Amino acid sequence: MSAAELPLHVRELGPSPGSGVDTFLLLHGYAGSSFTWRYWAPRLAERGHVMLVDLKGFGRAPKPADSAYGPLDQAALVARLIEQRDLRHLTLMGHSLGGGVALVTARGLVRDGDGRLDRLVLVAAAAYDQRMPPFMKLADHPRLSSLLMGALSTRMVVRSVLRSIVYDPSRVDDAQVRGYAAPLQSPGAVRALIECARQLLPEDLEALVATYPEIDVPTLLLWGREDPVVPLAIGQRLSRELPNAHLQVLDACGHLPAEERPDTSFAALEAFLDDGSAPTRSLRG
């Protein structure tokens, strides 16, 4: 199967991948798309090849009517993309759900031992069993979720959710709402959203967590101190369990560091890319 046949959508920026060229593969969070990375992507393209992936069921990716929407399913697709494209000098980045997918993908790449993965960047990443936010609990009632999405304006729902997960709700603007809402209006999007939420926690999560220490590549953990979706405690635990991880905490920031604090968050990322690591500290400004 070619990369084009995978149920993913990939947008690419920057120079072509090749010898000596870094490749940055970015995975968005739940209900998101590559739109999430709009502030980081052009800057990363100045450093190397950028691949913005819409995961299966999200953004412009296909939304097949099956039940394979869990993190392990998504990670298997990302791993196949990496293998098919023979990506090397790879920095794998993931936000929220995409961070969990990146963790699983990274574990597989490390176990393969082929040296493809250079670095890992996890932004407010889902990694352990935790309390689900209210907007995801609706997936337990799929008929109700579908009725609500049909009865209410998609933009109204998106605006409400965004305002509930950021530090400063007043900064959620119309452009951001439109960017998140547009893909959710495509056929099959609500069904995919529900399927993904229902499968968010793998059945063998404890066994998966036990393998995290195998991921020994340099890893940046980037977290908003006031994240109400994936609490900072998750990042702190990851910093203890990943052997080469460095935690950066952004003050006055919620669940969307790359959007709420684009300059400050990218400065932390750039320092990590330059040095391969970053000291544990809080970032202001």
Q: Which of 80-94, 197-211, 221-235, 255-269 has the lowest mean pLDDT?
A: 197-211
Per-residue pLDDT tens over the stretch 17-76: 877 899 999 999 999 999 999 999 999 999 999 999 999 999 999 999 998 999 999 999
* Coil/strand/helix, residue 50: strand
Q: Which domain holds residue 141?
A: 3-283
**Cβ pair 75, 187 in contact under 8 A:** no
Higher pLDDT, 137 or 261: 261
Which tokens go with 67?
């039940």
102 — pLDDT class (breaks 50, 70, 90) = very high
User: pLDDT, tens digit, for every residue of 132-143?
Assistant: 776 555 555 455
| Predicted TM-score (pTM) of this structure | 0.91
The count of structural domains within the chain is: 1
For 69, half-sphere exposure in the C-beta direction (CA atoms, 13 angstrom radius) is 26
- Tally Cβ neighbours within 10 Å of residue 274: 10
Give the CATH number for residue 80: 3.40.50.1820
The gap from C-alpha 44 to its chain's centroid, in whole angstroms, comes to 16
- Does residue 3 register a pLDDT over 90? no
Give me the DSSP letters along 183-219.
Answer: HHTSTTHHHHHHHHHHTSS-TTHHHHHTTGGG--S-E
Rounded distance between C-alpha atoms, residue 144 and residue 140, angstroms: 9
The bridge status of strand 90-95 relative to strand 49-54 is unpaired
